[in-house]
Amino acid sequence: MTEVSAHPWRGIAAEEVDEPARALSILLRRRSRALLADLLRPHRGTVALIGLLILTANLAALAGPWLVGIGVDRVPALVATRDPVPLLVVTAGFCAAAGLQAAASAWYITAIGRMGGQVVLELRARLFATFQRLSVAFHERYTSGRVISRQVSDVDAISELFDEGLDSLVSAAFSLVFTGTGMLLLDWPLALTVMAGFLPLAWITAWFRRESTVAYRRTREAIALVIVHFVETVNGIRAVQAFRREPRNEQIFAGLNEGYARASKRSMHLVALYFPGVTIVGNLAVAAVLLYGGLRVIDHAMPVGVLVTFLLYLRRFFEPLQDVSQFYSTFQSATAGLEKISGVLEEEPSVPEPAAPAALPGRPAGGGPGRELRMAGVRFGYRSAGPRAPAGAPGRAPAGGSAVVLPGLDLTIPAGQTVALVGPTGAGKTTIARLLARFYDPDEGQVLLDGVDLRSISDADLRREIVLITQENFLFSATIAENIALGRPSATRAEIAAAAEAVGAAGFIAALPGGYDARVGKRGGRLSAGQRQLVSFARAFLAAPSVILLDEATSLLDLPSERTVQRAMRTLLAGRTALIIAHRLSTVRIADRVIVLRDGRVAEDGPPGALLRGDGEYAGLHARWEESLT
């Protein structure tokens, strides 16, 4: 554990594996049970059928050895009569029981598999929907590696449980109870001898459970480290290669990988000890039954057939325990997975949709001048990504305190006005844009659109009215047309082309091989930064919102493409309320009003011309910018 525990990622991994350990202590926690019950509810009929089939299979399995015992007892009498019929009847009964057992098992295994498939399908769908619905704030603390773990390995663990573990678990429990009862009914003193074998068995099983929980935890922790490191490396592959981080990364990865191999070796080792242990106890029980049972047969206290039945039952008594321990890790992964998934499923979005959304005042046909945007007494700080809020606590509870970014902001942007927001880095500009787009809710105060609090506007209305375009200009790996159509999925090809035309993107799109059907690659990687910008403008143009928020939209561009983009911007912003955040002051020229932000407060506010003539911060910024151009 040395290199592993010294690693900075350990915290992340530990966070990942804490939950299973806790979950195991009580086997299944309430929320896991509730989720499971909820998932199984539509399959109540199947569950009942499966129970019935398992019962049948177990009774049939019990009948087999019992019939063998009867047969054995009959044989000596048959020597005299030389009549094979009673033997044939018993044999036929044995075959029927064996057939019934096989058929019932085949049926319930199939039924469990089919039901498991449906449950897992439903679980995956619910998870996906939840991940999509949860707010940006959730995704900031819940890394994408963990999202992938939930969606893939945890669901897989549960699926595996249904495929192979569950039936053996349930039928092991049944067969212990049934065989035990059967033995007690047949001959209780001998049955008690067998059950004495449970004492050492309980002891080694407890040991195995304890040790393998620790080993399992270590394996999970090690593999979580391997995955986190892998995801980080691949996501940052450009930086990794640019800074020649490969050898160091390989070294770290090799260490982590080895840690994982060591941890899983320990798991294997435990299984290697436990199985022979159970076998020895089972064989000792056979020896005890043979001796004590044999003595009782000699004393005429018990027929020999019962001894044979007992010996056959013994196999059914101890073997299922081995099956269960074989699936113990499957079972652990599944309960842990279920626990973590149910944790995600009960997360509430920190920016919840209103139950009864308020209607926005209507706008004149053709759009009108946009809508008024107002921040009233807004105070806001990001929740620090400290220890996670305990499960079940509301998402908004401070999990580690927060530094105030905006101490108290009042700002009104009248309908149709274009405001440029400038200020030093870290002043809170992006934060304002996020609040205006309701990626977060303010801690105090309100953000209002045409006088309606954003918190009481439905998500659909909000996304239609306000569009935030960020530096990242996220494009999906699809065609250009599909990426533009994201603004309005119902748009026709002609409308898409018109939007591209309006923002001046049509030219470069026509030059692409495939035109509107050209695929943009992962995150739009096949386009230049400026081209991605234009595509996202076309997307926003098509969406035709009343408010546009542009964050740092042009900072990546060279001057000629910035000019193209500025032209596009004028088209885009015409007739809308707009807030542009820009470091380049050339972009600010199209604004009606400039706000200079410092430490989350408005330092200057006025028309660009007036600010320029003064000797305030904006004038200074502008002077420095002009200098930088010459």
Ligand X SMILES: Nc1ncnc2c1ncn2[C@@H]1O[C@H](COP(=O)(O)OP(=O)(O)OP(=O)(O)O)[C@@H](O)[C@H]1O
- Given the rule CB under 6 A, which residues bind ligand X? 140, 382, 405, 425-431
Cβ closest to ligand X, residue 317 vs residue 380: 380
Q: What does 428 interact with, of Mg ion, ligand X, none (CB < 5 to 8 A by kind)?
A: ligand X
Question: How many angstroms separate the Cα of 539 from the Cα of each of 64, 449, 499, 536, 572?
Answer: 72, 22, 7, 5, 10
Site for Mg ion in 427-486 (CB under 5 A): 430
Rounded distance, CA 18 to CA 524, Å?
38
CB of 475 to ligand X, least distance (A): 21
CB of 432 to ligand X, least distance (A): 7
Cβ closest to ligand X, residue 241 vs residue 384: 384
Phi, psi of 467 (to 5 degrees): -120, 130
Binding mask 409-438 for Mg ion (x = CB under 5 A): ---------------------x--------
Q: What does 253 interact with, of ligand X, Mg ion, none (CB < 5 to 8 A by kind)?
A: none
CB of 532 to Mg ion, least distance (A): 18
CB atoms near residue 273 (< 10 Å):
13
Q: What does 505 interact with, of ligand X, Mg ion, none (CB < 5 to 8 A by kind)?
A: none
Nearest Cα to Cα of residue 527 among 514, 541, 543: 514
The 8-class DSSP code of residue 605 comes to E
Residues whose CB is less than 8 angstroms from the CB of residue 172 and which lie 6 or more positions away in sequence, other chains included? 320, 321, 323, 324
Q: What does 17 interact with, of ligand X, Mg ion, none (CB < 5 to 8 A by kind)?
A: none
Question: What is residue 527's three-state secondary structure?
Answer: coil
Gyration radius of the chain's alpha carbons = 35
Q: What residue type is 275 in one-letter code?
A: F
CB of 565 to ligand X, least distance (A): 18
Site for Mg ion in 240-259 (CB under 5 A): none
CB of 207 to ligand X, least distance (A): 46
322 near Mg ion (CB under 5 A)? no
CB of 437 to ligand X, least distance (A): 13
Tally: H helices and E strands in the chain: 25, 10
Cβ closest to ligand X, residue 275 vs residue 382: 382
Cβ closest to Mg ion, residue 15 vs residue 617: 617
CB of 473 to Mg ion, least distance (A): 14
Cβ closest to ligand X, residue 425 vs residue 630: 425
Q: What residue type is 198 in one-letter code?
A: F
Q: What does 425 interact with, of Mg ion, ligand X, none (CB < 5 to 8 A by kind)?
A: ligand X
Cβ closest to Mg ion, residue 168 vs residue 430: 430
Q: What does 426 interact with, of Mg ion, ligand X, none (CB < 5 to 8 A by kind)?
A: ligand X
Cβ closest to ligand X, residue 549 vs residue 569: 549
Rounded distance, CA 214 to CA 302, Å?
47
Q: What does 140 interact with, of ligand X, Mg ion, none (CB < 5 to 8 A by kind)?
A: ligand X
Q: What does 568 interact with, of ligand X, Mg ion, none (CB < 5 to 8 A by kind)?
A: none
Question: How many angstroms separate the Cα of 487 from the Cα of each of 99, 357, 476, 542?
Answer: 62, 22, 13, 6
Cβ closest to ligand X, residue 109 vs residue 375: 375
Binding mask 112-141 for Mg ion (x = CB under 5 A): ------------------------------
CB of 447 to Mg ion, least distance (A): 18
Cβ closest to ligand X, residue 326 vs residue 402: 402
Nearest Cα to Cα of residue 305 among 189, 186, 192, 194: 186
CB of 471 to Mg ion, least distance (A): 8
CB of 557 to ligand X, least distance (A): 16
Extract the tokens encoding 137: 């704030």
Q: What does 405 interact with, of Mg ion, ligand X, none (CB < 5 to 8 A by kind)?
A: ligand X
Q: What does 557 interact with, of ligand X, Mg ion, none (CB < 5 to 8 A by kind)?
A: none
Cβ closest to Mg ion, residue 246 vs residue 472: 472
Place of tokens 């898409």: 496
Cβ closest to ligand X, residue 123 vs residue 435: 435
Query: How many Cα atoms sit within 13 Å of 242 on the Cβ side?
Result: 4
Phi, psi of 104 (to 5 degrees): -65, -40
Q: What does 431 interact with, of Mg ion, ligand X, none (CB < 5 to 8 A by kind)?
A: ligand X
| Helix 10-25 and helix 328-345, axial crossing angle in degrees, nearest 10 | 110
Which burial class, exposed, middle or buried, applies to 50 when counting CB atoms under 10 A from its CB (0-12, 13-18, 19+)? Answer: buried
Rounded distance, CA 618 to CA 591, Å?
14
Site for Mg ion in 144-203 (CB under 5 A): none
Cβ closest to ligand X, residue 136 vs residue 297: 136
Rounded distance, CA 508 to CA 515, Å?
9
Rounded distance, CA 526 to CA 504, Å?
19
Residue environment code for 424-453, b if the CB has 16+ CB neighbours within 10 A, otherwise e = eeebbbbbbbbbbbbbbbbeebbbbbbebb
CB of 425 to Mg ion, least distance (A): 7
Rounded distance, CA 47 to CA 40, Å?
8
CB of 392 to ligand X, least distance (A): 23
Helix (H) or strand (E) holding 225: helix 198-235
Question: What is residue 589's three-state secondary structure?
Answer: coil
Q: Which residues bind Mg ion (CB under 5 A)?
A: 430
